[in-house]
A and B are shown apart, each in its own frame.
Chain A
Amino acid sequence: MNAFTAIGDWFANALAWVLGRSETPPRIPIGTWFEQGIDALRERGGAFFDLVGGFIAWVVDLLAALFHQPPATALAVGGAAVIAAAMLRTRRRAALITAAAVVALFVLEALTGVLNTLISTGGIPSFFFLWAMALFQVDFVFPPLIIALLALAAFAVLAALPGGGRRPRVVAACAVAAVLLAYGLVWLVGVPVPLLVTALFAVLAWRVAGWRLALFTVLGFLLIIAMNMWAGAMDSLALVLVASTIAVVIAVPIGIAAAYNDGVSRVVRPVLDLMQTMPAFVYLIPAVSFFSIGAVPGVIATIIFAMPPGVRLTELGIRQVDPELVEAGEAFGAPPGQILARIQFPLALSTVMAGVNQVIMLSLSMVVIAGMVGAGGLGSDVYEGVTRLQLPQGFEGGVAVVILAIFLDRLTAAVSRRSATTAARQGAEA
């Protein structure tokens, strides 16, 4: 009833404007509609968005903390994960069982605090952890750290057992040594963490992309430290990594679906165009209304803005695979999932990685904008510089962004280049 009269009024107004009887053109308020849609969504799925927001915030904080002042627990878990990954080839079952046990312990501890009670009641002899308390200069025992150290030890022992091959053993030795070295340097010697992290990135750059990038990394990150931009840079890095990871995780399946189905492709393409060309600021408004101020709306807006190339290049990569290869898979009776996983995706990988590279670059370009909604990091530094007309701060923030961008771009480009050949080389090794 109401809607009918409203539509009638609108047409009457339109007619009047066309005939020159009215000054105001007929209005189509799609902005309002959009807001209404967002509000409706917010009302229905509030709990869901809170959950997502909470998770994103937690991951970003964790990563940022890792780059700032890595908790001993995280280092131990990282070491254990590296060893486990190396063992996946040769001793998949043992590695998976141990990993499951470790995760179960973490969950159990988080839910019931079992370990905590055991420690405080003297269920575990005190000499197991007193030295650690002394080393880390704390006066309480952090149960997750214990679990993490146990995991590290377990994986190291597993890898060292005979019959597992040489590689996992070497990796295990290196990982344990690295964790202990880090503990020693940070807590015994007191080396500043930024220096250690810089060294770590340099090693990564050297392994993946060669010594030039390693050199650049050392110089660039030292400059960031010297500009006193380290904290902001690491926050931004965490933001970028989380946002691009999520973007890729969403983009790849969509890209695959679009490659398989022309209909999906036709629907997705204009949506992607819209996502990419819409001014990035615009995403911030609904993102804030969903997740309020902070890192999370920044990450969400970044995901939306950075996702399109991930989808596009995945679709392109899959579609580029020689149809006769897919036919060969079919001719031998392979099911579609297997054809995707063992033929199409491996062959599309280098293109997909080029997409990942672009996703990361776009994420980084979004970081500054995200600073406007209090996402923190370099974005906040730059934004403050702009609003307060402090050129030095703004410029230094900008330089830090550029350094991060070059580092990430060269690194992922190298990964992309290598994935074209690694797939092949892995085939040759197996």
Chain B
Amino acid sequence: MPAAVRAAKVYKVFGKRAERAVKDLEAGATREEVRAYGATAAVIDVSFDVEPGEIFVVMGLSGSGKSTLIRMLNGLLVPTSGTVEVDGTDITRLKPAQLRQMRSQKVSMVFQHFALFPHRNVLENTAYGLEVRGVPVDERQHRAAQALELVGLKGWERNLPEQLSGGMRQRVGLARALAADTPIVLMDEAFSALDPLIRRDMQTQLLELQSELGKTIVFITHDLNEAMRLGDRVGVLRDGRAVQIGTAEEILNDPANDYVAQFVEDVDRTRVLTASSVMAAPIPVVGAEAGPRAALRTLRENQTSVAFVLRRDRRLVGVVHEKTIGPAVRTGQKSLDGLVDTDVQRVSPDTSVADLFAPAAESSVPLAVVDDAGRLRGVIPRVTLLAALAGNGNGNGAETADAGHDAAAAEPADTSRTEPDTAEPADTAEPAEDADASDRPAAGADPAETPAEDPADPPPDTGPAPPDAAGEERHGGQGAAR
């Protein structure tokens, strides 16, 4: 299957001596150098593939060439050099009629400044793509009305664009592209004029739509959080060049250079990072077949008070606590039967960090990251969560793993504290403050979400995990998560 959209070594230079500018840029000239003789290099040597059904986000500061790039993807602008392919056809070679055909059948677009027709009402604007395609009036109006309902503009069909607010106009532009019902949608800052609530709503709807209909979406945005939330992959443009293309996590955790790093500085990491990217290696583990004596030795060696108990196939059984192991060893018990605490919070590797706070709050031991088959993939001590929030949350680092032990050692957690304030996470990464800090962010999390978010199959010998009653009082500000 060919890529839905592919750009290969695309250049777009406006102004004088464009061809020469491309040659110079290829030879290593900078944007400023070609600028000197009147050429504006808007897009420089950008290559990427967008797979069918993918959301590809292009991100960059104002003037970095995002709009120029997206306009080349449907042939509104012709690249100065390089090729753009849609479904395997090179659109730079199409005849005008074929290009029109391609646009009306395959690619629709949402414009940054809406580009609504002021002399047509909302319904006619929305039906425009179908009108061009020659769909009969009744059908296209019906479908346009559906699209308008989808974006929450039912009842505004007969109004003119000038009678709508900016956000409403933007949604009409969105409905116009959706009504055209093309497999590929190009969206140039499609949500930029929406208020945060509607924006979130539209993002969710877009994600739903995309998973239902499998549309391929190229999405442009200034907003990093939006990029990270929507994008299967994200491309960062700077001064016309693609400085990094990768998944949201790659960009967050492994910025290609300082520019990207600065860019991602203020992103709400908790919504982007997932459990798998912040988890630490589950170091104190005990085989389920081992005896209490072996378990106690493991705990001592690792200087922790709890250890995870696994079967041979790494499926998680539960945890053992030092305080129950100690007496068992003294009484000479031979197996761990009855000593394993199965009340462990399990989360799946894909759970976003924002959704980890609630289970973390309810659990006195680190969270267990468990895959679909019930195997333990890693653990998340509370301090790791805080580190992720603070921005240096690279879960594989030894530092956080160590910190994790300390956090686990500090127990029992004081679950009676219910201060609603959210702590400054930046300074809580210090191990000394762990016990105090670790339950604070939890105060802002919503425990009600936990069961739904936990897809792990409980192993047969673990009991049902009772939700912690102490969490009841802790409904905080972060209720909108997902």
A125 close to B (CB within 8 Å): no
Q: Which residue of A lies closest to B160 (CB)?
A: A424
Q: How far is the CA of A424 from the CA of B119 in the complex (A)?
A: 4
Q: Which residue of A lies closest to B113 (CB)?
A: A324
A332 touches B160 (CB 8 A): no
Q: Which residues of A contact B160 (CB under 8 A)?
A: 424, 427-428
Q: Which residues of B contact A327 (CB under 8 A)?
A: 71, 76, 111, 115
Q: Which residues of B contact A334 (CB under 8 A)?
A: 100, 104, 132
Q: Which residues of A contact B333 (CB under 8 A)?
A: none
Shortest beta-carbon distance from A420 to chain B in Å: 9
Q: Which of B100-142 contact A (CB under 8 A)?
A: 100-105, 107-109, 111, 113, 115-121, 124, 128-129, 132-133
Q: Which residue of B lies closest to A346 (CB)?
A: B119
Shortest beta-carbon distance from B36 to chain A in Å: 27
Q: Which residue of B lies closest to A338 (CB)?
A: B132
Q: How far is the CA of A328 from the CA of B173 in the complex (A)?
A: 10
Q: How far is the CA of A343 from the CA of B117 in the complex (A)?
A: 7
A325 touches B115 (CB 8 A): yes
A424 touches B103 (CB 8 A): no
Q: Which residues of B contact A335 (CB under 8 A)?
A: 97, 100
- Are A427 and B119 also in contact (CB < 8 A) when A330-B76, A332-B180, A333-B103 are? yes
Shortest beta-carbon distance from A75 to chain B in Å: 35
Q: Which of A391-430 contact B (CB under 8 A)?
A: 423-424, 426-428, 430
A331 close to B (CB within 8 Å): yes
Interface string of B363-400 (1 = CB under 8 A from A): 00000000000000000000000000000000000000
Q: How far is the CA of A148 from the CA of B141 in the complex (A)?
A: 40
Shortest beta-carbon distance from B119 to chain A in Å: 4
Q: How far is the CA of A335 from the CA of B118 in the complex (A)?
A: 20
Q: Which of A312-353 contact B (CB under 8 A)?
A: 322, 324-325, 327-335, 338, 343, 346-347
Q: Which residues of A contact B113 (CB under 8 A)?
A: 324
- Are A331 and B103 also in contact (CB < 8 A) when A338-B132, A347-B118, A427-B120 are? yes
Q: How far is the CA of A6 from the CA of B97 in the complex (A)?
A: 55
Which one of A327, A331, A335, A346 has the highest number of Cβ atoms from chain B below 10 Å of its Cβ? A331
- Are A428 and B104 also in contact (CB < 8 A) when A324-B115, A330-B76, A333-B133 are? no
B132 touches A332 (CB 8 A): yes
B124 touches A430 (CB 8 A): yes
Which one of B74, B120, B160, B162 has the highest number of Cβ atoms from chain A below 10 Å of its Cβ? B120
10 cross-chain pairs, A with B, having the tightest CB-CB distances, nearest first: A333-B104, A333-B103, A328-B115, A333-B100, A324-B115, A423-B119, A331-B109, A332-B129, A427-B120, A334-B132
Query: A interface vs B, CB < 8 Å?
Result: 322, 324-325, 327-335, 338, 343, 346-347, 423-424, 426-428, 430
- Extra contacts, 8 of them, besides A327-B115, A328-B116, A347-B119 (Cβ < 8 A), are A324-B113, A328-B117, A328-B128, A330-B103, A331-B76, A333-B105, A338-B132, A424-B118
Query: B interface vs A, CB < 8 Å?
Result: 71, 74, 76, 97, 100-105, 107-109, 111, 113, 115-121, 124, 128-129, 132-133, 158-160, 162, 180
23 A-B residue pairings within 8 Å (CB atoms): A324-B111, A324-B113, A325-B117, A328-B115, A328-B116, A330-B100, A331-B76, A331-B103, A331-B108, A331-B109, A331-B111, A332-B103, A332-B180, A333-B101, A333-B104, A333-B133, A334-B132, A335-B100, A347-B117, A426-B119, A427-B120, A427-B160, A428-B159
